[in-house]
Amino acid sequence: MLTSSPAPQTILHEIFGYEQFRGPQAAIVDHVVAGGDALVLMPTGGGKSLCYQIPAIARQRAGHGVAIVVSPLIALMHDQVGALHEAGVEADFLNSTLTGEQANAVEKRMLRGEITLLYAAPERVTTPRFLALLDQMYERGQVSLFAIDEAHCVSQWGHDFRPEYRALTVLHERYGTVPRVALTATADDITRADIVERLQLQQARQFISSFDRPNISYTIVEKKEATAQLLRFIERDHAGEAGIVYCQSRKRVEEIAQTLSGQGITALPYHAGLDQEVRQRNQDRFLREDGIVMAATIAFGMGIDKPDVRFVAHLDMPKNIEGYYQETGRAGRDGLPAAAWMAYGLQDVVNQRRMIDESPAGEEFKQVMRGKLDALLALAEATDCRRVRLLKYFGETLVAAGPPQGDHGPLGGQRAHEVASVGATYSCGNCDNCLTPPQIWDGTDAARKLLSTVYRVQQMSGISFGAAHMMDILRGKATEKVTQFGHQKVTTFGLGAEFSEAQLRGVLRQLIATGALAVDAQAFNTLQLTEGSRGVLKGETQVMLRESVSMPTERRRSTRS
């Protein structure tokens, strides 16, 4: 018997305790409550769960029975069911952690109509046994909807292909009148098209959110004394708050956890080299206690749903923008202000380039990786809005397949379009470059002199040298090494005396970041000219740099040495 159900807004208030829907949530919920199919693309933290939980509750109360939620991660199933219980919603799960007896009990409850949301792994949903149960429920009109979470798992182009997702087409074929909502945070359009095809969602309305995370402020600083910079950042802006500090190596993770602890910050390490038990304990403490800072490698974070992470710091640069976006995206899932902070320096550029060069992958793959790294370097070197750069990167992959279809809601894909197209003039008001526009200086002359020093030294000595030596020559410092090789006779000797070491280091970093100069890791990190050097040497390529904020300290230090 169908009864009238409470309005979604009422469910949002009374059961979940939230004031209002966020972004496209309201439109999605209305569409699904009314029985429509939907494909929801929303970034992590966007609030995908409510998009099926509220329709499930509304439709159950209207007499439509149980909602089946397909989810691949057991830990997330447990979290969600636990949270729903706390909110007083009848939810359960079926997965491999249950005994046969427990699973039977859940099935019985479902048949009796006592469950509003049933979470199950895809391989469970498509077993003959479970389908037979569904048949019974369906005949009685007691299946309210199917939610397919992490829908990108159906695609081999997604980062997490799971073959068992392919079998989910049975839901559509067998229970055609039950609305289906597929959800994912994976943006790129090959994956999206694949989801539509594999799950037969051609008729579904697509809700594509902007990948903007307006509550996250982005800051990228020049790396000097990384640990001290991190401490200042935490103490000044995030004392007592929960955060994640990403480091590249396990050793560094341990060091940072220790240093932070020594400063009275509750910090724990997390990396794949720790005992499973220690990892689990640290993760549990991070999730349950307040104000814990996790020093971690990228092994930490997948499937971690902690809404009040107030900052994500990178002491080392990730491999590409996807990684940066995903890692920083773990901050501020509750929608409150949060910070993404990264310290970035010459060594990061050199390390990342070397890792690609030395990887055993094929040349074609390396080329793709280099392109992705370049995009991240451009973001790090940018003097204009970071958010524009970030969204532009996703905008290109998101909208390349032609005009977006469907309703995108107030925070829809359209926004990413606009942001991308207004380019440099756009100010988000919540990144370092927009809040304090950096002083820009024209480093073109310094860059030319630096490259021509590299060229002349190579000509004179037949071998190349490292960055410090080149800078000494340009600044006219007759060090022991300079005199030993007779490099005070290089025609550019002393021609760059007006530049500080910090300025030249900035120039070097940008030249390397843009590929106009290479560092040969096989030959003592010596500098090598590249194809890209030509444009700079000829003065055709401008080199614009941000003025280093703490340059005075740099100067003092360099004169002392």
| Residue 90's binding partner out of Zn ion, ligand ADP, none, with CB under 5 to 8 Å set by partner kind | none
Give dist(CA 338, CA 354) in Å, integer: 32
* 115 scored as a contact of Zn ion (CB under 5 A): no
Q: Toward Zn ion, which CB reaches closer, 293 or 312?
A: 312
Cβ 292 to ligand ADP, closest distance in Å?
A: 18
Residue 46 in contact with ligand ADP, rule: CB under 6 A:
yes
Which amino acid, residue 63? G
Q: Among 103, 175, 186, 176, which Cα is nearest to 149's?
A: 186
Burial class (CB in 10 A: 0-12, 13-18, 19+), 517: buried
Give dist(CA 244, CA 477) in Å, integer: 42
148/507 with CB nearer ligand ADP: 148
CB of 50 vs Zn ion, minimal distance in Å:
29
25 binds, among Zn ion, ligand ADP, none (CB under 5 to 8 A by kind): ligand ADP
| Cα dihedral sign, 85-89-94-95 | negative
* Position 55 contacts ligand ADP (CB under 6 A): no
160 interacts with ligand ADP by CB under 6 A = no
Between residues 43 and 65, which has the closer beta carbon with respect to ligand ADP?
43
Give one word for 268, left, alpha or beta, with left for phi > 0 and alpha for psi -120 to 50.
beta
Reference 42, options 23, 61, 59; nearest CA is 23
Stretch that binds ligand ADP, among 216-224, 329-337, 369-377, 450-458 (CB under 6 A): 329-337
The span of 16-24, 337-345, 421-429, 512-520 binding Zn ion (CB under 5 A) equals 421-429
Cβ closest to Zn ion, residue 383 vs residue 458: 383
Among Zn ion, ligand ADP, none, residue 47 binds (CB under 5-8 Å by kind)? ligand ADP
- Single out the segment in contact with ligand ADP by CB under 6 A; choices: 14-22, 122-130, 234-242, 400-408: 14-22
Cα separation, 405 vs 208, whole angstroms: 9
Q: Which of 107, 255, 305, 445 binds ligand ADP (CB under 6 A)?
A: 305
Closest to ligand ADP by CB, 54 or 154: 54
Closer of 207 and 324 to Zn ion (Cβ): 324
Quick one: what does residue 72 bind among ligand ADP, Zn ion, none, with the CB cut-off 5 to 8 Å set by partner type?
none
Please pick, from the candidates 31, 48, 279, 310, the single residue that binds ligand ADP as defined by CB under 6 A: 48
Least separation in angstroms between residue 40's CB and ligand ADP is: 9
Tokens 């070097």 -> residue: 508
User: Residue 163, exposed/middle/buried by CB under 10 A (0-12, 13-18, 19+)?
Assistant: exposed
Q: Does 25 bind ligand ADP (CB under 6 A)?
A: yes
CB of 204 to ligand ADP, least distance (A): 18
Is 409 a binder of ligand ADP (CB under 6 A)?
no
390 within 8 A of 327, measured Cβ to Cβ: no
Let me know the angle formed at the C-alpha of 3 by 63 and 130, rounded to the nearest 5 degrees: 0
Residue 397 CB, shortest distance to Zn ion, in Å, is 20
Q: Provide long-range contacts, Cβ within 8 A and 24+ apart, for 371-378.
A: 372/319, 372/320, 372/321, 372/322, 373/319, 373/320, 374/513, 374/514, 374/515, 375/320, 375/321, 376/317, 376/318, 376/319, 376/320, 376/321, 376/324, 377/349, 377/513, 377/514, 378/513, 378/514
Is 382 a residue that touches Zn ion (CB under 5 A)?
no
Task: For residue 518, give the 3-state DSSP assignment.
Answer: strand
CB of 20 to ligand ADP, least distance (A): 6
Under the criterion CB under 6 A, does residue 325 sit at the interface with ligand ADP? no
**Choosing among Zn ion, ligand ADP, none, which partner's interface includes residue 413 (Cβ < 5 to 8 Å by kind)?**
none
Q: Which among 296, 195, 302 is positioned nearest to 247, based on CA atoms? A: 296
Query: How far apart are the C-alpha atoms of 216 and 236, rounded to whole Å?
Result: 17
Report if residue 303 touches ligand ADP, rule: CB under 6 A: no
- The answer to whether 440 touches 545, Cβ cutoff 8 Å, is yes
**What is the chain's Cα-based Rg?**
28
Dihedrals phi, psi of 378, to nearest 5 degrees: -65, -40
Q: Does 47 bind ligand ADP (CB under 6 A)?
A: yes
Give the CA distances from residue 313 to residues 111, 114, 293, 377, 530, in Å, rounded to whole numbers and listed in that order: 48, 45, 10, 17, 33
Min CB(46)–ligand ADP separation in Å:
4
Window contacting ligand ADP (CB under 6 A); options: 43-51, 163-171, 348-356, 480-488: 43-51
Which tokens go with 385? 């809005």
Binders of ligand ADP among residues 332 to 351 (CB under 6 A) are 333-335
Q: Rounded to whole angstroms, how far apart are CA atoms 492 and 449?
A: 7
List the single partner that 434 binds among ligand ADP, Zn ion, none, CB under 5 to 8 Å by kind.
Zn ion
- Applying CB under 5 A, the residues found at the interface with Zn ion are 385, 387, 428, 431, 434
Binding site for ligand ADP (CB under 6 A): 18, 21-22, 25, 42, 44-50, 305, 307, 333-335
